[in-house]
Amino acid sequence: MIKVVCAILEQFDRVLVTQRSERMQEPLLWEFPGGKLEPGEEEEECLAREIWEELSLRIQPILRLQPVIYAFPDKDIELIPYICTYQSGVIQLSEHKAYQWAHPQDLLSYSWCPPDIPVAKDYLRTKGAAS
Ligand SMILES: Nc1nc2c([nH]c(=O)n2[C@H]2C[C@H](O)[C@@H](COP(=O)(O)OP(=O)(O)OP(=O)(O)O)O2)c(=O)[nH]1
Q: Is the CB of 43 under 6 A from ligand 1?
A: no
The pLDDT of residue 103: 97
The pLDDT of residue 75: 96
Whether the pLDDT of residue 130 is over 70: the answer is: no
Q: What range does the domain containing 94 cover?
A: 2-130
**DSSP structure class, residue 112:** B
Could you report the per-residue pLDDT of 11-58, keeping only the tens digit for each?
999 999 999 999 999 999 999 999 999 999 999 999 999 999 999 999
11: number of Cβ within 10 Å: 13
The average confidence (pLDDT) of the chain is 96
Q: How many domains does the chain have?
A: 1
The pLDDT of residue 128: 87
Kindly give the distance from the C-alpha atom of residue 129 to the centroid of ligand 1, in angstroms, as a whole number. Answer: 29
Residue minimizing CA distance to atom 13 of ligand 1: 25
Mean pLDDT of 55-84: 98
Beta bridge partners of 2: 77
Q: In CATH, what number is assigned to the domain containing residue 94? A: 3.90.79.10
What pTM did the predictor assign?
Answer: 0.95
Q: Is the CB of 65 under 6 A from ligand 1?
A: no
The pLDDT of residue 78: 98
Whether the pLDDT of residue 59 is over 60: the answer is: yes
Q: How far apart are CA 70 and CA 76, in angstroms?
A: 6
The pLDDT of residue 131: 56
Residue minimizing CA distance to atom 17 of ligand 1: 35
